[in-house]
Structure 1
Amino acid sequence: MRAVSDGATGLKGDARRQSLLHVRGRSVAWVPPLLLLVAIVAVDYRTSSDFRILSWIVLVPGIAAAICGVWGTAAFAVLAPATYVAADVALPHEFEAGLPDLVLAGIGGVLATAACVVRVRSERRMVHMQDVAATIRRTVLRPLPPGWGGLEHAAVYLAADSEARVGGDFYDIQIGLYGTRVILGDVQGKGLGAVEAAAALLGTFRETGYHEPELATVAERLEERLQRHILMRVALGSEDGERFATAVLIGFPEEEPETVQAVVLGHDCPLVVGPDGVRSLPPGHGLPLGMAALDPAGGPLPVHRVPLRPGETLLMTTDGVTEARNSDGVFYPLTDDVTAAVAADPGIARPRRLVAFVRERTLRHCGGRLADDTTVFAVRRTKGAKGVGNGDGNGRLRA
């Protein structure tokens, strides 16, 4: 997956500071148009009357409009005609270009300044939209404190749309009365509809993950929430009723410090990565969220209990990783790549290093061209932690 200020009143802002060229924190955006102005005058002075380029001064405000602020462009809009007059007057009478080219330079300066105003305003709107997208992302994917819920964790999210910076992938860690719960999911589709569904599912997970004693019940509540969300969106005419989401639910029960509970809902099974190797959690847990009606049995979801030894990390990814293709159309071999890396360096199993490794290798495999939103999420129990929740199992919070 991954500098603006001068301008008329109301046009100053972050967009302008981001677009200026800087050297040691100082803007040098004025240098290129100034050099062009000097070069035009110098060349015109040293050439004969058969090669007159003084009228090219009209280009100077145009260059300034592309990289300078409004006041900078306005300054060049004045400086260019003034330089034209001074240079033209200095020439012998028979070589003077005259009034028409001066008028052209003046009009060019006015148009360049107007174009700069439009550009700066557009930049400010773009930065505002990026801020909105970043706020939405922080709301959906809230920052997680180090060691939250007794877990060492690391995550990276890469949006396929680099401008939007937000999509349908989601993850979270929720401490609760019956241990810590972890979720990673991927809402089908893209755009704001996928973001809304992800936000709805995360809100439900944060409540049920805290209160419910059974991980299967958390999964059932997520299914109900997505169905209700889809029903509302269809009633509003904003959905076609076919939205679904894949997800992984992991529970770290207080009473089983070396065991994790897992429910995989149509998602790629997490990998258990440790110094001794890599293994996958058992598949076949349940259908994706939003598709429970397709289950003929309709029984309770199976919850797998998997041993997790000290030093082992759970690696969860969305299909942006496993479906990343190279130029030959070959999918990224996640399991094989991680297995080889751990064999060469067992320290790769630490969450932060593991996430960084998978991110780098995925981007290298696809040449940086992500076809889908991509999330890499890794968690493991902190050293010496017997339990990772925040309750006593009887519905009471511990102090």
Structure 2
Amino acid sequence: MSGRPGRLGRRFGDAAHAGDPTRDDDAVHRHQLVRVGGLSVGWVPPLLLLIAVAVADANTGGRFRMISWIVLVPGIAAAICGVWGTAVYAVLAVAVYFAVDSAWPHQYQSGLPDFILVAVGGLLATLACALRVRGERRMLHIRDVADTTRRAVLRPLPPGWGGLEHAAVYLAADADARVGGDFYDIQPGPHGTRVLIGDVQGKGLGAVETAAALLGAFREAGYHEPDLATVADRLEVRMMRHRGHTAALGRADGDRFATAVLIGFPEDAPGVVDAVVFGHEAPLAVGPHGVRPLPVTGGLPLGLAELGSGPPPVSRLRLAPDETLLMVTDGVTEARDRQGCFYGHAEEVARAVAADPRAAAPRRLVALVRDGTLRHCGGRLGDDTTVFAVRRPRPEG
């Protein structure tokens, strides 16, 4: 439920489903920052600098020599080229220095000291480039691990999974971590389709581990258990078992909890949904005729049941065929602008649906709330953010 703010440009790289913004991992590849029309032009700036220094030196007086500035060429190449490219520019810098300096009369030559400077500068630039490339590869590997972890926790959901139209986007508050404590899933089964969205308190790998534990319990119980209340109980038991395990390990996150919303779409009752709310923001029912919060009776978050008088009740609620359930985590509800005002996603969704009833479609809803959240907070999210929309397919005709 908490995280480190990131940059707006990174946010659009974390869409979790088709139809969301395309991923933009190019920031990791330094050499891709200098591409034109898909072709690498990273070799151009050092080459232009090499030519400029040589020409400038040839057109200045003998008492003002600039050829030693050519040591900057491999340094620039080290920042935007590969190792071999930097090495080539280091050799070129030495060769051009020798050729240009030798063309002057002896009394005006920079001589051996500057030659050594250029040679050593090229060598150091090549070594620095090698370190840079190795660091970028390590960063790519870390991001691959983070993406694999995210796919394991937030598994890709096929279109129409569980007989539902759905769309989701996950934005990590820590742009480098790319994965956090928000979780969601759809689990079809013989007793209908169940949906879960939640937010684990805290951040870091402990929050990811807790989310994975809850999703594992949901995927089993959501499939096998005929009663949604039993699924809710299984989630609470799993949370308590996980807390006991972390406490036994002596970890500081032994008192972690999670807010969540559990939704059931019964097969035998197409006009209703069952809902259990564990201390989470109530879902919104969004349709062509407006936006309304589901009138659910919420309970305590998962992991805090011993503080209450019992588990949260299962509420059976009417849902029109053209209504979409919109669920969000704290990253949306607690997004603030520079004046400290919270983002009112329900009001913005209501305005959008009033202007165009087609905005109630899951993909359009997710894009609307995502864009509105990022715009409201200037791209600096204070928490992991999940926007999840789901509905039954609209009847044909």
Tell me the TM-score normalized by structure 2.
0.91
Q: 2:343 aligns with which of 317, 323, 332?
A: 332
* Equivalent residues of 1:20, 1:28 under 8 A apart: no
Greater shift in the superposed pair: 65-74 or 376-385: 376-385
Q: 1:362 aligns with which of 352, 373, 376?
A: 373
* Equivalent residues of 2:300, 2:312 under 8 A apart: no
Q: What's the CA shift for 1:281?
A: 1.0
Distance 1:20 1:344 in 2: 40
Cα deviation code 1:172-203 (max 9, x no counterpart): 00001210000000000111000000000000
Q: How does 1:123-202 map to 2 (within 5 A)?
A: 123-202=136-215
* Equivalent residues of 1:154, 1:355 under 8 A apart: yes
Aligned letter for 1:86?
Answer: A
Cα RMSD after superposing both structures: 1.5
Residue in 2 that maps onto 1:382: 393
Aligned letter for 1:21?
Answer: V
Residue in 1 that maps onto 2:277: 264
Structure 1 unaligned blocks of 5 or more: 3-13, 386-399
Matched, 1:312 2:323: yes
Matched, 1:57 2:73: no
* Equivalent residues of 2:273, 2:318 under 8 A apart: yes
Distance 1:301 1:370 in 2: 30
Query: Equivalent residue of 1:199, what SS?
Result: helix
* Equivalent residues of 1:168, 1:195 under 8 A apart: yes
Distance 1:332 1:285 in 2: 22
Residue in 1 that maps onto 2:218: 205
Matched, 1:303 2:314: yes
Residue in 2 that maps onto 1:391: none
Matched, 1:275 2:275: no
Structure 2 unaligned blocks of 5 or more: 1-10, 13-26
* Equivalent residues of 1:248, 1:264 under 8 A apart: yes
Tell me the TM-score normalized by structure 1.
0.91
* Equivalent residues of 2:275, 2:296 under 8 A apart: no
Query: Equivalent residue of 2:198, what SS?
Result: strand
Query: Equivalent residue of 1:73, what SS?
Result: helix
Q: What's the CA shift for 1:343?
A: 0.9
Percent same amino acid at aligned positions?
Answer: 67
Distance 2:295 2:109 in 1: 86
* Equivalent residues of 2:30, 2:80 under 8 A apart: no
Aligned letter for 1:319?
Answer: D
Residue in 2 that maps onto 1:247: 260
* Equivalent residues of 1:285, 1:303 under 8 A apart: no
Q: Tell me the number of residue pairs that the alignment of Structure 1 and Structure 2 aligns.
A: 372
Q: 2:352 aligns with which of 325, 341, 349?
A: 341
Distance 1:136 1:85 in 2: 54
Aligned letter for 1:327?
Answer: R
Aligned letter for 2:354?
Answer: A
Q: What's the CA shift for 1:129?
A: 0.2
Q: How does 1:39-78 map to 2 (within 5 A)?
A: 39-78=52-91
Cα deviation code 1:293-312 (max 9, x no counterpart): 101x23x4311111111110
Distance 1:237 1:253 in 2: 42
Distance 2:349 2:175 in 1: 26
* Equivalent residues of 2:297, 2:312 under 8 A apart: no
Query: Equivalent residue of 1:103, what SS?
Result: helix
Aligned letter for 2:380?
Answer: R
Aligned letter for 2:304?
Answer: M
Distance 2:31 2:191 in 1: 47
Q: 1:36 aligns with which of 30, 49, 72?
A: 49
Residue in 1 that maps onto 2:15: none
Residue in 2 that maps onto 1:21: 34
Query: Equivalent residue of 1:376, what SS?
Result: strand
Distance 2:303 2:32 in 1: 44
Distance 1:318 1:364 in 2: 17
